[in-house]
Amino acid sequence: MMDHDTIPVLAHDLVKRFGDFVAVDHINLEARTGEVVGFLGPNGSGKSTTIRMLCGLLRPSAGQALVAGFDVAREPEQVRRRIGYMSQKFSLYNDLQVIENIRFFAGMYDVPASVLHERTEWVLDMAGLAGRESTITGTLPGGWKQRLALGCAVLHRPSILFLDEPTSGVDPISRRRFWELIHAMAAEGVTVLVTTHYMDEAEYCNRLVLIFQGRIVASGSPTELKQQAMAGELLLIECDQLGPALDLLQQVPEARHVALFGKALHVVVPDAQTGIPRLRTALSAHGIAVSRIEPIRASLEDVFVSLTAQLSGQRT
Amino acid sequence: MRLHRLIAVIRKETLQIRRDLASLLITVTMPLLLMLAFGYGVRFDVKHIPVYVYDRAGNQQSQDFLKHFQASEYFRIVKAVDDYPALIQALDSGACRLAIVIPVDFSEQLGAGGPVAVQALVDATDNNTANISLSYSEAVVQSYNQRLRLDWSHRHGLRTVPSPLSVDIRTWFNENLESTANIVPGVIAIIMAVIGSFLTSLTVAREWERGTMEQLVSTPITPLELMIGKLVPYFVIGLVDTALCAAVAIRWFEVPFRGQWTVLFLSCTLFLIVVLSLGYVISVVAKSQLAASQAALIATFLPAFLLSGFLYPVDQMPAATQLITYLIPARYFMTILRDVFLKGTSLPFLMDDLLALALFAAILTILATRVFRKKLA
């Protein structure tokens, strides 16, 4: 199949234009064997377009991508044989039974008859669908459908897996279960590229790639990202008038990236020591009572908001 | 091409067709309904033309003359009226298509050796029917003349002189000159063109609409496997439909079948491949079920109806139109069907038409594999 030294996914200056619109703008990417790489970014940032190019479903406008060592533009069929792909929208046949979908995709991937039974059992077991073989797929709950879709995408035991928002619209318990499956596969050496906009899910990834307006704006492990991306320290402020406080803090030069998080504000300042007293005075000068102000550890969401805010500011 | 994948596609399509009972029912009942609708609805025969008469003579001889009209199956005397305005009104309202006026001095003039002019007023809005009713009227008058002459000769003790020249007519292939015999085989061609392309026009567009195409193109399936896999189940349905139509034609409409079944089967196979591939190409291009099915209907029904020789013989069309008909696969199939059914023409004489169909089949299947791209945009 694949050499041990081949990098499973390698993209170099990948570009995709739709007319004048640049959906993917010079993306460089690398995923190593057994890695779970998460693609994070708002809707329309180019995550799905990138994954579709890597699967050979869209032709890159410029740049190059090698998947399992094959050029996605020139040898898409070689790529397709070695990957599993799960699209954003559920795209198995709703009018077929569970087992019929499995058999169909086993046929598509040319799974040999000798292992067909074993693979089918494995997928049914993995997806928790044993005993539901003859259920019409369309009547399954969302989480079950997603597990079946994953099962159908791995029937041929691909070494690389592309999952495009696999858990959107799925309840939290099913999501957790789904991620357990992904990790189990990664542990067996499968390289997984997954897009999501659930921040809690991003924590499950070995490495994250943040995409914004078609560009990679940051990448690294979740921990690295939290350390690097926040230029300064993050403060949590709880006060009585959130709206006015937000407006006010946006005027304070020291307070970078003010954002509303639930019933509190998150504010980035260059230094917490000097920042806390200054913000406190600014707020109380306007009659806003501060009940709590303290440094906190940044979450991925903070990193994400902070980065996208910086970039939107730069670009507009 | 992998047999494994091909079989998987065929099985999947078959399962989907079986699960969609409503559509399956349509594919079987629609050809039968169309067969009956066309078989009964389209007639080129002119029979029982409604006639009004204004008998100004009103004696036994004029009545005798009118009986000749009544006796012919081409005319049906609806009413006798007493003045011109009533006749004109009947023609205006469409109550009759032909009005006959017998002059007051009908018998006197005949007795004096004629000639007598009997007036015929014809509604010529439909020029075809008008022409036919005029020539039928002339034939009726002709035969009446014949009888008068015989009577006259007989009365004067003369031997009848036989007419020196006569035409001995023998109609071949459609002995009773029934237009159903001509129409019904043609209807089979139209139905197959419409149903065949309709069936496949939905198949690829549906995958795009339901989003299943994205998963499908991410697999190693080849365009050829997809096309053959999708066409095979519909080919079987198409053959069943054809058999049903042929059975209705022969059993119900009593169209003679004089040719070889193998020739019928061969031509149907080729024509089905043509229309199924055409529907598939349309489906790939349109990407929407509604647009695809409408395009398929227009692309097959109109040419098959107007330009195939179904309505008018191709050699009677204007020269430019005749050239266009060479591009209409239904034209060749129409010829083959009529020849196989009525003439019993054997394979060697139909070779040209079969080769033309084969050529279309080849072009369209190649196009069908080429037009499909395993890309999303």
DSSP per residue, A17-37: EETTEEEEEEEEEEE-TT-EE
Contacts of A85 in chain B (CB under 8 A): 215, 218
A253-303 residue pLDDT tens: 888 778 888 888 888 888 888 888 888 888 888 888 888 888 888 777 778
Whether chain A has a CB inside 8 Å of the CB on B3: the answer is no
Say how many C-beta atoms besides its own lie within 10 A of residue B83's C-beta: 10
Return the H-helix or E-strand segment holding A291: strand A290-296
The CATH number for A231-297, chosen from 1.10.260.40, 3.30.70.100, 3.40.50.300, 3.40.50.1370, is 3.30.70.100
Higher pLDDT, A241 or A37: A37
Contacts of A152 in chain B (CB under 8 A): 215
Q: Please, are residues A71 and A242 in contact by the beta-carbon 8 Å criterion?
A: no
Contacts of B19 in chain A (CB under 8 A): 95-96
pLDDT at A316: 41
Confidence of residue A229 (pLDDT cuts 50, 70, 90): low
pLDDT at A2: 47
Average model confidence (pLDDT) across chain A: 88
Residues in chain A whose Cβ is within 8 Å of chain B: 18, 52, 55-59, 76-77, 80-81, 83, 85-87, 89-96, 100, 103-110, 149, 152
In angstroms, the separation between the Cα of residue B238 and the nearest Cα of chain A is 23
- Sequence ranges of the domains in chain A: 9-220, 231-297
pLDDT at B42: 73
Sign of CA dihedral B46, B47, B50, B55: positive
Sign of CA dihedral B157, B159, B164, B165: positive
- Average pLDDT value for residue range A3-32: 88
Residues A91, B5: C-beta atoms closer than 8 Å: no
Q: Please, are residues A66 and A72 in contact by the beta-carbon 8 Å criterion?
A: yes
Whether chain A has a CB inside 8 Å of the CB on B224: the answer is no
CA angle, A117 then A119 then A120, to 5°? 65
Residues with Cβ within 8 Å of residue A315, at least 6 apart in sequence: A213
Sign of CA dihedral B341, B346, B351, B355: positive
Interface contacts (A, B; CB < 8 Å)? 85
Q: What is the CA radius of gyration of chain A?
A: 23
pLDDT at A314: 59
| CATH architecture of residue range(s) A9-220 | 3-Layer(aba) Sandwich (3.40)
Contacts of B2 in chain A (CB under 8 A): 110
pLDDT at A175: 86
Helix ranges (H only) for chain A are 47-54, 76-82, 98-108, 113-126, 142-153, 172-187, 199-202, 222-229, 242-251, 272-285, 300-315
B189-199 residue pLDDT tens: 999 999 999 98
Which among B16, B211, B215 has CB closest to A96?
Answer: B16
Sign of CA dihedral A86, A91, A94, A99: negative
Whether chain A has a CB inside 8 Å of the CB on B374: the answer is yes
Residues B219, A105: C-beta atoms closer than 8 Å: yes
Structural domains in chain B? Answer: 3-43+178-371 (no CATH), 49-155 (3.40.1710.10)
Decide if pLDDT at A1 tops 50.
no
Residues A76, B374: C-beta atoms closer than 8 Å: yes
Helix ranges (H only) for B79-222 are 84-93, 106-111, 127-155, 179-201, 203-210, 212-217
Contacts of B11 in chain A (CB under 8 A): 103-104, 107
If you search the block for the tokens 């019929």, which residue do you land on? Answer: A100
Burial label for A65, CB within 10 Å (0-12, 13-18, 19+), is buried
B132-166 residue pLDDT tens: 888 888 888 888 888 888 887 888 777 766 667 77
Return the H-helix or E-strand segment holding A219: strand A215-220
Residues B220, A90: C-beta atoms closer than 8 Å: no
pLDDT at B160: 65
DSSP per residue, B248-284: IIIIIS-----S-HHHHHHHHHHHHHHHHHHHHHHHH
Predicted confidence pLDDT, tens digits, chain B (377 residues): 788 899 999 999 999 999 988 888 988 898 999 899 888 877 777 788 899 999 988 888 889 888 888 888 888 898 889 999 998 999 898 888 899 999 988 888 888 777 888 899 998 888 888 888 888 888 888 888 888 888 878 887 777 666 677 777 787 777 777 777 888 899 999 999 999 999 899 999 999 999 999 999 999 999 999 999 999 999 999 999 999 999 999 999 989 999 999 999 999 999 999 999 999 999 999 989 999 999 999 999 999 999 998 888 888 889 999 999 999 999 999 999 999 998 888 888 899 999 999 999 999 999 999 999 888 87
Which among B19, B215, B220 has CB closest to A87?
Answer: B215
- What is the distance of C-alpha A269 from the center of its chain? 28
pLDDT at B15: 95
Residues A100, B221: C-beta atoms closer than 8 Å: no
Residues B15, A100: C-beta atoms closer than 8 Å: yes
If you search the block for the tokens 């939107």, which residue do you land on? Answer: A312
- What is the distance of C-alpha A306 from the center of its chain? 17
Mutate to test the interface with B, among A58, A108, A155 (most CBs of B within 10 A): A108
pLDDT at A170: 80
Within a 13 Å sphere around the CA of A64, how many CA atoms are in the beta-carbon half? 6
- Taking Cα atoms as reference points, which of B343, B339, B47 lies closest to residue B186? B339
